[in-house]
Structure 1
Amino acid sequence: MVKRKSDWFLVGALVMIAILFYSSSMTYHEQTSVPTLARLLKNEPFKDWLSQFSFHYAGSQQSVKAAGYFKFVEFFIRKGAHFGTYCLLAVFSYLGLRPRVIGSGLTFVFSWLATTGYAAFDEFHQMLTGDRTPLFQDVMLDSIGALTGIVIVCALLWIFKLKKRR
């Protein structure tokens, strides 16, 4: 039974893990947002602006020219989802474990490493799923998302603590 506020954060972390696992179980074709983007963005807004960007990610060139407008937009949505979901997973883990672990530094490191470890497991899981490409670069992106989330939460907690003292 959920009794403390920190228990809810651990429940949130478990929900995030379930969402990530389910998402990794889907093939790219089950998960693609390109048809939806083509319907919603049929006038291709910002195409001229986006066309000026080109970069390499995991050995592939990413640009409107190389991938097409909708796949390029989807690339940013997918990578934003990587960053955001692992950011949330780390925040929930940190806030859920904070009252249970001695020292906020240990909680910080453990939450970050556990989230990064789950990101690596998730990419391995994608390798077992058809039509998916596991990428080390995605693990790094997920790890940066996790680190960002924990740093923001620690900064906010520190600010609230300072305000409380005044």
Structure 2
Amino acid sequence: MKLRITRVALWGLVLLCMAFIFYMSAKPAQQSSQVSGQFIRSVAAAVTPDFSALSEDEQDAVVESFQHVVRKGAHFSIYLLLGVLCLLAMLTHRVKPGVRIGISLGICLLYAASDELHQLFIDGRSGQVSDVLLDFCGSAAGVLLTAGLAALVCRHLRKRTSPVSS
């Protein structure tokens, strides 16, 4: 029963993460740029004491200079989370480790491709193969990080429960 609840909760988190990605991708280009711009302004104001003293044009230039890297970092990060969640959910199923990893990566790749396809229908947005690759790299990092940590935990638990030899 506990396993079933855990499985449902983890797959629910996967779907929640996918819904968040869909929600963010559904924003028109101008609105999406405003969201990332506000994030950059907040961070710049927190880490640069004199940011607020800059003219509005200078602040806009700072925001514009970081737009690309922040947006691509967001792609990588949210798909890293999706990869972590997919593999955690797959760990609740009795399949071989390689199959778990493959299914998790497949889910993330298909979702990344569908996300870029979705963006073709949003005002001012475009679907880019480079974003699918970036998203997949993020999810692969999440899957591999989770797989590595899971293997370490399993190894540690096996050592603790194995009989001590004299």
Which whole-Å CA distance do the structure 2 matches of 1:146 and 1:88 have between them?
A: 7
Q: Which residue of 2 aligns with 1:4?
A: 5
SS of match in other structure, 1:41: helix
Shift of 1:165: 2.1
In the alignment, structure 2 segments of 5+ residues that lack a partner are: 49-59, 160-166
**1:161 and 2:154 aligned:** yes
Given that 2:6 and 2:92 are in contact with CA atoms closer than 8 Å, whether structure 1 keeps it comes out as no
Residue 43 of structure 2 is aligned to residue 28 of structure 1: no
Asked whether 1:151 is paired with 2:154, we answer no
Render the CA deviation track for 1:10-65: whole Å, top value 9, x for unaligned. 111000111111111101211223255347636995xxxxxxxxxxxxxxxxxxxx
| RMSD value, Cα | 2.5
Shift in Å at residue 119 of structure 1? 0.4
1:77 matched to 2:70? The reply is yes
Instruction: Among all aligned residue pairs of Structure 1 and Structure 2, give the percentage whose two residues are the same amino acid.
Output: 24
Distance 2:46 2:93 in 1: 52
Alpha-carbon displacement from aligned partner over 1:56-95 (angstroms, at most 9, x marks no partner): xxxxxxxxxxx94312312222111111111111211111
Q: How many residues align?
A: 145
* 1:32-111 → structure 2 map (5 Å cutoff): 32=33, 33-34=36-37, 37-38=40-41, 41=44, 45=48, 68-111=61-104
Q: 1:138 aligns with which of 131, 137, 140?
A: 131
* Greater share of helix: 2
TM-score of the superposed pair, with normalisation by structure 2? 0.77
Structure 1 residues 106 and 86: CA distance shift in structure 2, 3 A: same
CA distance, structure 2, for counterparts of residue 112 and residue 126 of structure 1 = 21
Name which of structure 1's ranges 155-164 and 91-100 shifts more when overlaid on structure 2.
Answer: 91-100
Q: Secondary structure at the match of 1:148?
A: helix
How far has the Cα of 1:99 moved from its partner? 2.6
Larger Rg: 2
**TM-score, normalised via structure 1 length:** 0.77
Unpaired segments ≥5 residues, structure 1: 46-66
| Alpha-carbon distance change, 133 to 68 in structure 1, aligned in 2, over 3 angstroms | farther
